[in-house]
Amino acid sequence: MKDTLTIDTLTREDVTALIIAAKKRAGLSWEGIAETIGMSPVWTHSAAMGMNAMPKDKAEALVAALDLPTGAVDALTESPTKIWDQTVPTDPCIYRLYEIVGVYGPTIKALIHEKFGDGIMSAIDFDMRVERIENPKGDRVQVTMSGKYLGYNAW
């Protein structure tokens, strides 16, 4: 049955649901899946959730690792339409990240402009790590983001 599902019957949303179910069923972590396919956990999760297209070899590795239908490869390699809910999130973890950008976004922008000039940090040429830092007062979450600086063109 697994090979009877094709791209014609398998949507990107279907593939995401299959990935989540297979991950849970196998008791895997995103770190473990990422290591298996040779990518970072952040990128792997983002691509699995439909926010990035996977190169064919990574999609094939993910499909094999999670025993997904072969039609999932085509869905995973499609260029995504990156649509997310623009309302204030209610999930506490996501809301706090939203709050950080709301409170510190203008500060981050000002410091980028001071250090680099008028421009942005790329979210295309970008990487991110999420780490746990042990602390006697309570463990800390460290999010490290790195994006290429892109100056605005003047014409």
Active site residues: 96, 99, 122
Alpha-carbon separation of residue 95 from 47, 88, 99, 102, 103 (angstroms): 21, 7, 6, 10, 12
- Do residues 66 and 26 lie in contact, with contact meaning Cβ atoms separated by under 8 Å? yes
Alpha-carbon separation of residue 88 from 80, 84, 100, 102, 141 (angstroms): 23, 11, 13, 11, 22
- Amino acid 20 reads I
Count CB-CB contacts under 10 A for residue 108: 13
Q: Which of 76, 80, 24 is nearest to 54 (CA)?
A: 76
The CA distance from 15 to 5, in Å, is 11
Residue 95 contacts by C-beta under 8 Å, 6 or more apart in sequence?
Answer: 88, 89
